[in-house]
Structure 1
Amino acid sequence: MAQAALIPALLGVLLLGSGLGAQPVATGPVKRVWPVHAPVYIQPIAVDSTKLLGPPPSPGSLAAEADMEAVLMAQAFRTPEQEAWAQHIDSDGIFKHARELGPWFTPQALPKCEAFFSRVLGDAHGVSAQAKRLYARPRPPRVDARVQPCVQLPGSASYPSGHSMQAFLMASILADLLPEKREVLLDRAHRAAWSRIIGGVHFPTDDIAGRVLAKAILEELRKSPEFLKDLNVCREELDQARARRSRP
């Protein structure tokens, strides 16, 4: 079965269609889209999103109704703590994992890792940007004005979620480098991805598509000798940083 068929099915297990009609489209300030860098390890066409994901739920379908209901329910019950987390993740990045990994995990201590993840994420966002342009799904507030985001509304399309893709890609690579932290890193990725639904700027199917895309991107990255070489450089730097931390 294609991944595209799984996405509405997964959402249907979570929520039943609500029958809520769309309201006038929201307007407001938008922030700029993800920067797209020149490819280093993989080209944007390395992942065929048409085969991997397929399109998002069609407007007016039960899956689309359930998607919107999830966003509205997340908004209705979100707490100040959830809003603060969504705002923290809004500008997510590799060194925000210091909450999980410790204060030693900084760009000053790990400049080679900083450069490595910048290249990786540049390539990854090139892939996701291509998929976003292909499907051009409007963000939740652009579909229904009842959605009131607690984070800035991006100018890019909604599907797939770039934040979800990035969160799971960063977590997966960090888990390879720091296997003892795998569980906490993947838990963070799930919470980071869901924060975009809480924030009101993504649908659940955007999140799921981002996760699927992250896995496919990582598979392609691992085929690149240059990526594997730089990954080892990053691993050595991490080992050195942790060794310095453990010295009396």
Structure 2
Amino acid sequence: MKAWNVARFFLSLLCLVAAGAACATEDHFLSADQLELGSLLPPPPAEESRQTREELAELLALQAVRTPAMEEAARADAAENVFRFADVLGPQFTASQLPLLDSLFKAVAEDEYQLLAAIKSQWRRPRPFVVEPRLHPCIAEPSSNAYPSRHNSFAMLAAVILSDMVPEKRQALFERAAAYGHNRLVAGVHYRSDTETGRMVGLLIADHLRRDPAFQKAFAGARAELRAVLALPPL
């Protein structure tokens, strides 16, 4: 009898795991076969190209004027987290107050991560501090390839989604996204072309999501939640 109960317990556990996996799959909105970035984006500049040399010179110049305050901001923005936009949306813009928005952005960020991981592996552009030993990043050195910048992609994607939720803050949200992305240059971990193409990726993903019914359903709930927390009227 005890053996039967144990078997039933493990069977129930397996069912729960399977159900959780199914839910996790449903929480995703975009896959690599739906958005073929390799055919939409320009390749990175060659390592020996004039453009790469100029971009390395820019990073060295930024490093020369980098202040402790700039380094602190770059370290804070190393987190790929939508709640870095609290600078614009206020102290109430937190995961604990916005569970629907938090869940939406976790799913979006995971989709974006998978897309960028695939294209980074395809192009394999070394990080600038690997090419130029005089560069000393002020954050932990990323182990992934450089091109395109995932942080810039996420920042632009988040700015588009959040500005669709709170159009009253559109300009400030995009300015914050630009600062978030620029901090990857300040940190010394990305070339400018990485950041520019990363922003293009964010816009491409946002365009796809705006046309996705599953995303729009989740978006509507998160938007209503956010506007209520910010004491803004419904849209």
Fold similarity call, TM over 0.5: yes
Report the alpha carbon displacement of residue 174 of structure 1 after superposing the two structures with TM.
Answer: 0.4
Q: Please tell me the residue identity of whatever aligns with 1:177.
A: M
Which of 146, 158, 162 matches 2:134? 146
The residue aligned with 1:14 is: none
Task: Report SS of the residue matched to 2:230.
Answer: helix
Q: In structure 1, what is the Cα distance between the partners aligned to 2:146 and 2:231?
A: 42
Determine the C-alpha separation between the residues in 2 that align with 1:72 and 1:191.
Answer: 19
Q: Which amino acid aligns with 1:196?
A: R
Question: What is the identity, as a one-letter code, of the residue corresponding to 2:163?
Answer: A
Amino acid at match of 2:74: A
Cα contact 2:155–2:177 (8 A) shared by 1: yes
Deviation at 1:237, TM superposition (A): 0.7
What is the TM-score normalised by the length of structure 1? 0.81
Look up the match of 2:96. 108
Q: CA offset at residue 95 of structure 1?
A: 1.3
Q: Tell whether 2:55 aligns with 1:67.
A: yes
Q: Give the TM-score of the pair, scaled to structure 2.
A: 0.85
Paired with 2:85 and 2:177, the residues of 1 have a C-alpha distance of 10
1:23 counterpart residue number: none
Higher CA-based Rg: 2
CA-to-aligned-CA distance 1:171-200 (integer Å, 9 cap, x gap) = 111011000111111001111111001101
Letter in 1 for 2:31: Q
Query: Which residue number in structure 2 is paired with residue 79 of structure 1?
Result: 67
Q: Are residues 1:213 and 2:213 paired?
A: no
Q: Per-residue CA shift, 1:153-186, capped at 9, x if unaligned? A: 1111000000000111111110110001111110
Shift of 1:67: 1.4
Aligned counterpart for 1:224 among listed residues 198, 212, 223: 212
1:89 to 65, 68, 77: 77
SS in 1 for 2:145: coil
Q: Percent identity?
A: 35
Q: Give the secondary-structure state (helix, strand or coil) at the position aligned to 1:158.
A: coil
Residue 47 of structure 1: aligned partner: 35
Q: Is the 8 A contact 1:136 1:158 kept in 2?
A: yes
Per-residue CA deviation, residues 48-69 of structure 1 (Å, 9 max, x unaligned), is 2222212100111111111111
Partner of 2:116: 128
Asked if structure 1 preserves the Cα contact closer than 8 Å seen for 2:165 and 2:227, the reply is no
Equivalent residues, number: 208
Matched, 1:234 2:229: no
Q: Which runs of 5+ in 1 are unaligned?
A: 1-36
Contact 1:45 1:127 in 2 (8 A): no
C-alpha distance in 2 between matches for 1:179 and 1:62: 40
Distance 1:99 1:61 in 2: 38
Residue aligned with 1:153, SS: coil
Cα distance in 1 for residues equivalent to 2:85 and 2:36: 30
Gaps of 5+ in 2: 1-23
Please point out which of 199, 205, 210 is paired with 2:187. 199
Structure 2: how far apart are the matches of 1:242 and 1:64? 44
Partners of 1:226 and 1:242 in 2: how far apart? Answer: 25
Question: What RMSD over aligned residues (CA atoms) do the two structures have, in Å?
Answer: 1.5
User: For each residue in 1:187-231, what CA deviation from the matched residue of structure 2 results, as whole angstroms up to 9, or x when unmatched?
Assistant: 011111110011010000000010011111111112210000000
* CA distance in structure 2 between the partners assigned to 1:76 and 1:243 by the alignment: 44
For residue 205 of structure 1, what is the amino acid of its counterpart?
S
User: Which residue type is aligned with residue 218 of structure 1?
Assistant: A
Q: Choose between structure 1 and 2: higher helix proportion.
A: 2
Instruction: Encode CA deviations 1:13-40: one digit per residue, 9 max, x unaligned.
Output: xxxxxxxxxxxxxxxxxxxxxxxx8671
Instruction: Report what 1:34 is aligned to.
Output: none
The alpha-carbon deviation at position 45 of structure 1 amounts to 2.6
The one-letter code matched in structure 1 to 2:67 is T
- Determine if contact 2:163/2:169 at 8 Å carries over to the other structure: yes
